[in-house]
A and B are shown apart, each in its own frame.
Chain A
Amino acid sequence: MYSTQSNPMKRLINVIMPIMAISVLSFGINSCKPKGASEAVSGDAAVKAYVPPGKYDEFYNFVSGGFSGQMSVYGLPSGRLLRVIPVFSVDPEKGWGYSEETKPMLNTSHGFVPWDDLHHTELSQTNGEVDGRWVFGNGNNTPRVARIDLKTFRTSEIIELPNSAGNHSSPFATENTEYVVAGTRFSVPPDNVNGDIPINTYKQNFKGHISFISVDKQSGAMDSAFQLRLPGVNFDLARAGKGKSHGWFFFSCYNSEQANTLLEVNASQKDKDFVLAVNWKKAEEYIKQGKGEKQAVRYAHNVYNESTHTATSEIKTSVTVLDAMSLEGICYLIPCPKSPHGCDVDPTGEYIVGSGKLAALIPVFSFDKLQNAISTSQFDGKYDGIPVVKYEAALHGEVQKPGLGPLHTEFDGNGNAYTSFFVSSEIVKWNIKDLKVLDRVPTYYSIGHLCVPGGNSRKPFGKYVVAYNKITKDRYAPTGPELAQSAQLYDISGDKMQLILDFPTIGEPHYAQACPVELVAKNSLKFFKIDENKHPYAAKGEAESKVVREGNKVHIYMTSIRSHFSPDNIEGVKLGDEVYFHITNLEQDWDVPHGFAVKGALNAELLIMPGETSTLKWIPDRVGIYPIYCTDFCSALHQEMQGYVRVSPAGSSVPLMFSTGKNKPAPDPTASAK
């Protein structure tokens, strides 16, 4: 280009101009000083939330799926979705609730419930610190508690709760995970009395129950230890005491009016409802003394066995109930302004933060003062038999004018509390001791719960707070009437909170907890050992693959390995048969699941982990040839991983035949004619 110019001076100018332009450009683009406040936030934020390709996040964030009934796992600080764990709802992606082995997990005393509502997650703790072993979730609608094993990121156990309706105040755990609690949101007539009564006899007949579910230290196995029978209020949220307050549990409750209609108005009449303080060690003493009543009830207890790869559901028929309204010393009520929602205990165990949804202040109660008030009987009478502690006697102090609609509080371990405000749509940071507001940041929009990693434990990890929002409105490109669900990540390592990331989530991100990746990852299972597979229909090796007819039931013991099934040609199935495909994945390596699908199956597909056996039930509805194939891309020859099942009419004499690689082409009858 330059050599075509003739005039030297002209050429010179032509050269100087681009050089200068490039120098200016390179200086301008790469200069790091931001020009305004908005740039300061966004420029810095990207770096803080960035996790390079191939690198792990620092924290797992276990986020409840709200009305989806599932639990999701995100990486922090990147906000990347790592997994959706099916819990209370069927999940065709993983065969959850579709495979014969997992169907029992969704069984209840009402039968098979395919979709529930999971609100809160709770990581197990040892000595008040997150231990990375299990995470619990509550089934809100048909009341249940689930335990997810973090070795496999799978739901291992689900227990139903009798005498309950709307299990909202759950699944919060004590500091050694001795118990997970479940407080009923709806008070209802107990299960063992006739419930066919007028609704407006609520005050006489409706009771609130709180379940204490014991958790085995080694195996995590849950059991319904005992229940507390309580006044007919609505239990909302709860936290265990810790450190000095270990042995106590605190529950927020609303509707102390005991209204049964238009609660929006009728349950907001009183200036104060209650925080219920429960001395569960005292309750244990009463149980030991035999003060519990055995009640005839029905509830399901479902357990997934990892060696048979099969769940079982047992209906249990008895629960032990303590009448906390007549047995002294178990429960005390602390007045708390305006329909308290969150009820959070700080890392020291001394301060209990009550958050009245309709209040314009945050009361902070002192555990020491509460104990003193109880021992010196500073009571304002009783509520349905339970002593009411004088408000001022238990009060540490109030945070004045913090915002509108305080909901939930988590802690950073440095003496600071972070409270979410739904109405004023913000997170407010305040000092627990002197109750002074230190900082506030807006959320987009209408935050519900919030989460600091380990923020409910004795040892929070601090660093971040995540907001789980109810409304996203204009934050994402529109997707029709239902918009993206969303969380927002804030850096709290400095004095001022800083928004660094918006990330979409599955609906609805209700509550969440987080813990360091290394706490969980070191125990992560890579595959199920095939020699430990105790599934009754497992085929451990192709030599064991076969087809067995038992009356009209046809059991196909099938194996899968990259990239073929054995058997892959099956004949002799007849209309009227129930066919069971028991697929054993023979792979013994990480990240090699195989899928399975058969045309016309009325439920779903299977996804089988290495070393596992899963079963798909199939009732063919017409005569013909049915293709089967692997649905999870497994290798370069994944598309070849397929086979056929021949279905003949009922009463047909086609013999049972099965093979792999041996069913050679039949001679062509037209060949000789040609």
Chain B
Amino acid sequence: MIALQLNFAVEKLFYRNTQTIMRAIVIAGFFSFLIFLGSCGDSPKTDTQSAQKNDVEKKDPNQYDPHRGEGKFTAENVKVGATLDVAMAKAGAEVREVKCAACHSLKDDRIVGPGWQGVTSRRKPEWLMNFITNPDPMISKDPELQVQLEVCLMRMPNQNLSDDEARQVFEFMRQNDGVK
């Protein structure tokens, strides 16, 4: 790299009066650089190029969807009834007591994380369930969660809720928001 940059600098400066000699020198310098590259076998350039290629390939198919979040839940596979499933909400309240209540109040005040009041109107069911079960990747990608992180200064821990428990907690959130 250094040798190459110097070669260009030299060419610029002495193009007029020492053109022929300089060309010879440049070629010689470049040649020695080639030897330098070849002297230890594989050129590091090849690795960098292929790594960059892979990065580009990876990015395309997985666009982050800020409405759905990231995880196994979608608008199709989360079924939400018109009325409250009381038993499910009760189970959700029990899960919350052990795994969520230390940080989230039921009103709109913040303990560690935001209070739950109104959360079901702010977020889609699949977004909430994805966030509960898969918080780390979403905190890294979701623009609103990143803003939230600056307020709370705490990445929401993965409390390892099962899929059923996540659904139950969501039903309890609906109850908390007045669904009957």
A binds B: yes
Q: Which residues on A are within 8 Å of B, measured CB to CB? A: 2-3, 8, 11-12, 15-16, 18-19, 22-23, 26-27, 30-32, 527, 529-531, 540-543, 559, 561-564, 566, 586-589, 592, 635-637, 661
Q: Are A541 and B102 in contact (CB under 8 A)?
A: yes
Contact of A26 among B33, B101, B111, B153 (CB under 8 A): B33
- Interface membership of B9, Cβ < 8 A: yes
A636 with B154, Cβ < 8 A, contacts A15-B25, A563-B112 known:
yes
Q: Taking CB as reference atom, which chain B residue is nearest A611? A: B160
| Given A12-B18, A559-B102, CB of A32 within 8 Å of CB of B29 | no
CA distance A2 to B15 in the complex (A): 13
Interface residues on B, range: 35 or more
Partner of B154, one of A11, A540, A542, A563: A563
| Pair B29/A562 contact, Cβ less than 8 Å | no
Q: B21 an interface residue at 8 Å Cβ cutoff? A: yes
Distance, CA A592 to CA B10, complexed state (A)? 58
Whether A23 pairs with B17 at a CB distance below 8 angstroms is no
B87 within 8 A of A: no
Instruction: Return the CB mask of B13-36 against A: 1 if under 8 Å, else 0.
Output: 110011001100100110011011
Contact status A530-B98, CB under 8 Å: yes
B157 touching A562, Cβ below 8 Å = yes
Q: Evaluate whether A661 and B111 lie within 8 angstroms (CB atoms) in the complex, with A23-B33, A541-B102 already known.
A: yes
Can you list 19 A-B contacts with CB-CB less than 8 angstroms, sorted by A residue number?
A2-B13, A11-B14, A19-B29, A22-B2, A23-B29, A30-B39, A31-B40, A530-B98, A541-B98, A542-B101, A561-B157, A562-B103, A563-B112, A564-B112, A588-B99, A588-B157, A589-B158, A635-B154, A637-B153
- B60 contacts the other chain (Cβ, under 8 Å)? no
Residues of A within 8 A of B99 (CB): 530, 541, 586, 588
Question: Is the C-beta of B144 less than 8 angstroms from some C-beta in chain A?
Answer: no
Q: Is B159 an interface residue (CB 8 A)?
A: yes
Q: How far is the CB of B138 from the nearest CB of chain A, in Å? A: 14
Question: Is B97 in contact with chain A by the CB < 8 A criterion?
Answer: yes
Indicate if the CB atoms of A588 and B160 lie closer than 8 Å: yes
B6 interface residue, CB < 8 Å from A? yes
List A contacts of B97 (CB < 8 A): 540-543
**CB neighbours of B39 from chain A (8 A):** 27, 30-32
Partner of B157, one of A530, A541, A592: A592
Q: Which residues of A contact B14 (CB under 8 A)?
A: 8, 11-12, 15
**A589 and B160 contact, Cβ closer than 8 Å, known pairs A22-B6, A23-B36:** yes
Find the A residue at minimum CB distance from B160. Answer: A588
Contact present for A587 and B112 (CB under 8 Å): no
B78 is an interface residue with CB less than 8 A from chain A = no
- Residues in B with CB closer than 8 Å to A531 are 98
B86 within 8 A of A: no
Shortest B161–chain A CB gap in Å is 8
Output the least CB separation between A208 and chain B (Å). 52
- Our pick among B25, B35, B98 for the contact of A27 (Cβ within 8 Å) is B35
Which A residues are CB-close (under 8 A) to B147?
none
Contacting residues, chain B, for A23 (C-beta < 8 A): 3, 29, 32-33, 35-36
Q: For residue B159, which residues in chain A have a CB less than 8 angstroms away from its CB?
A: 587-589
**Chain A neighbourhood of B35, CB < 8 A:** 23, 27
B74 part of interface (Cβ distance < 8 Å): no
For the complex with contacts A18-B6, A27-B35, A559-B102, 8 further pairs of A-B residues with Cβ separation under 8 Å are A8-B17, A16-B25, A19-B25, A23-B35, A27-B32, A30-B36, A564-B102, A635-B153
B33 engages A566 (CB within 8 Å): no
B7 at interface by CB-CB < 8 Å: yes
Chain B min CB distance to A281 (Å) = 47
Residues of chain A within 8 A (CB-CB) of B158 are 588-589
User: Are A27 and B102 in contact, CB atoms less than 8 angstroms apart?
Assistant: no
Residues of chain A contacted by B98 (CB below 8 angstroms): 530-531, 540-541, 586
Chain A nearest Cβ from B93, distance in angstroms: 10
Nearest CB in chain A: distance from B24 CB, A: 10
Cα(A18)–Cα(B29), bound, Å = 10
In angstroms, Cα B154 to Cα A26, docked, is 48
Cα separation A125 to B100 with both chains bound (whole Å): 42
Q: How many Å lie between the Cα of A601 and that of B23 in the bound state?
A: 79
Shortest beta-carbon distance from A246 to chain B in Å: 43
Q: Give the one of A15, A589, A592 with max B CB within 10 A.
A: A15
In the bound complex, how far is the Cα of B145 from the Cα of A61, in angstroms?
A: 42
Q: Say whether A19 contacts B7, CB under 8 Å.
A: yes
Top 9 nearest A-B pairs by Cβ distance? A23-B32, A541-B98, A26-B36, A541-B97, A588-B159, A588-B160, A561-B102, A589-B158, A636-B153
- The chain A residue with its CB closest to the CB of B94 is A541
A636 cross-chain contacts in B, Cβ below 8 A: 153-154
Inter-chain contacts of B33 with A (CB < 8 A): 23, 26
What 1/0 mask marks residues of chain B from 75 to 112 whose CB sits below 8 Å from any chain A CB?
00000000000000000000001110111000000011
Give residues of chain B (140-180) contacting chain A, Cβ–Cβ below 8 Å.
Answer: 153-154, 157-161
CB <8 Å contact, A2 and B102: no
Contact check, B3 vs A22: say whether CB atoms are below 8 A apart: yes
Contacts of A589 in B (CB 8 A): 157-160
Q: Give Cα A27–Cα B40 distance, bound, in whole angstroms.
A: 10
Instruction: Decide: A8 and B18 in contact? CB cutoff 8 A.
Output: yes
Bound complex: CA A27 to CA B37 (Å):
9
Name which residue of chain B comes closest to A661, CB basis. B111
- Does B112 lie within 8 Å of A562, measured CB to CB? yes
- The closest CB in chain A to the CB of B99 belongs to A588
Q: How many angstroms from the CA of A31 to the CA of B153 in the assembled complex? A: 50
Across the two chains, which residue of chain A brings its CB closest to B155?
A635
Closest residue of B by beta carbon distance from A9: B18
Q: In the complex the two chains form, what is the Cα distance from A669 to B7 in whole Å? A: 80
Of A26, A30, A661, the most chain B CB neighbours within 10 A belong to A26
Residue of B nearest to A530 (CB): B98
In the complex, the chain B residue whose C-beta lies closest to that of A33 is: B39
CA distance A3 to B36 in the complex (A): 29
CA distance A16 to B32 in the complex (A): 13
Cα(A302)–Cα(B167), bound, Å: 42
Say how far A251's CB is from chain B's closest CB, in angstroms: 48
A32 contact from B6, B10, B40, B112, Cβ within 8 A:
B40
Min C-beta distance of B22 to chain A, whole Å: 8
Q: Taking each of B17, B21, B160, which has the highest tally of chain A beta carbons within 10 Å of its own beta carbon? A: B160
A527 to B160, CA, bound (A): 10
CA distance A8 to B33 in the complex (A): 25
Q: How far does the alpha carbon of A18 sit from the alpha carbon of B10 in the complex, in Å?
A: 11
In the complex, chain B residues whose CB is within 8 Å of the CB of A19: 3, 6-7, 10, 25, 28-29
Chain B residues whose C-beta falls within 8 Å of the C-beta of A2 in the assembled complex = 9-10, 13
Contacts of A586 in B (CB 8 A): 98-99, 102
Q: How far is the CA of A563 from the CA of B99 in the complex (A)?
A: 14
- Which residues of the partner chain A approach B41 to less than 8 Å between Cβ atoms? 32
Q: What's the least CB distance linking B145 to chain A, in Å?
A: 15
Contact residues in B for A31 (Cβ distance below 8 Å): 39-40
Closest to A29 in B: B36
